[in-house]
Amino acid sequence: MVSPFSTKYLSRLGLGLLAALAPLACGDEETPLIVGEPGWIQLFNGRDLDDWTVKIRLHELGDNFAETFRVEDGLLKMRYDKYDSYDQFSDQFGHLFYNTPYSHYRLRIEYRFVGEQCPGGPGWAVRNSGVMLHCQPPDTMQRDQDFPVSIEAQMLGGDGQNERTTANLCTPGTHVEIGGNLIRRHCTDSTSDTYHGERWVTMELEVRGEESIRHIMEGRTVLEYAYPVLDDSDAQARRLTGLGFQKNVATGYIAIQAESHPLDVRRIELFPLSAE
């Protein structure tokens, strides 16, 4: 059977606990020092993308086309100002994968939407991004693949007037169970508040393998589901099955999306949980 993970990454499981306490100086006055609480691993170090791998649709693995993902002033930024004015966005969806797979953990991400959407971006992607959980390994993605087979915790911003929840669920190449029922629809709304403007928002995700995944906003669980499986009707999921991947999805990589609207992230941290 083919392992779902590259072996060079498996040795890093559980590492980085000491780094969780190391502060990083940031040039932006709005950006606090990244000081981890005891036991938390700082996945984003505020300096560079050394622990991450880029995959952008229509580009080879590792090609950070047009510096879509960049680190400036201590922030991880998703930007499109260097995209060709003729091609514009052209469905060049991007994903930034952390180089260690995880199964049981608590993830905390602090983000904000800024500016205007890249010309040519799809209408549904305005103030839209996400965190992909239990992702397929980045080196198994095809060159023209839109999204990794995964579970997506959406990051969504309001338009200043209408209600729009965040921490919603989308399931590219997967299905999940909610209340004991298999959910085949692609997206499911949470019960979160709406977050307008360019304010910083903190989303937490509690992932316990396949047994339980919770989306948490402001200390309140806004969505909960379990038992993700590969979708037999999805071509990319079927391809993974052919490569030897298990149908039950209990572990995988974490990835941050670039879907055409500029996004800032100033904290990505993970607390490993026991599998027992």
* Beta strands at 94-98 and 104-113: parallel, antiparallel or unpaired: unpaired
Task: Evaluate whether residue 1 is within a structural domain.
Answer: no
- Any domain includes 136: yes
Q: Is it the case that residue 24 has pLDDT exceeding 90?
A: no
Q: How many domains does the chain have?
A: 1
Q: Which two tokens stand for residue 266?
A: 């100033």
Q: CATH code at 167?
A: 2.60.120.560
Please state the rounded mean pLDDT for residues 259-263: 98
In a domain, 108, yes or no: yes
Predicted pLDDT of residue 19: 35
CA-nearest of 176, 188, 179 to 231 is: 176
Q: Give the number of other CB atoms < 10 A from CB of residue 252.
A: 25
Q: The whole model's pTM is what?
A: 0.87
Q: What are phi and psi of 186, to 5 degrees?
A: -75, -40
How far is residue 65 from each of residues 78, 121, 125, 184, measured CA to CA in Å? 11, 16, 19, 33
Residue 232 is predicted with a pLDDT of 96
236 in any annotated domain: yes
CB-based burial label for 253 (10 Å; 0-12, 13-18, 19+)? buried
**Residue 9 pLDDT > 80, yes or no?**
no
- Mean pLDDT score, 78-91: 88
Give the domain extent around 59: 7-271
182: pLDDT confidence band, cut at 50, 70 and 90?
very high
> Which SS3 state, helix, strand or coil, does residue 107 take?
strand
7 to 13, 79, 100, 111: CA distances (angstroms): 11, 32, 10, 31
Q: What is the pLDDT of residues 53-70, one digit of tens each?
A: 999 999 999 999 999 999
Is residue 276 included in any domain, yes or no? no
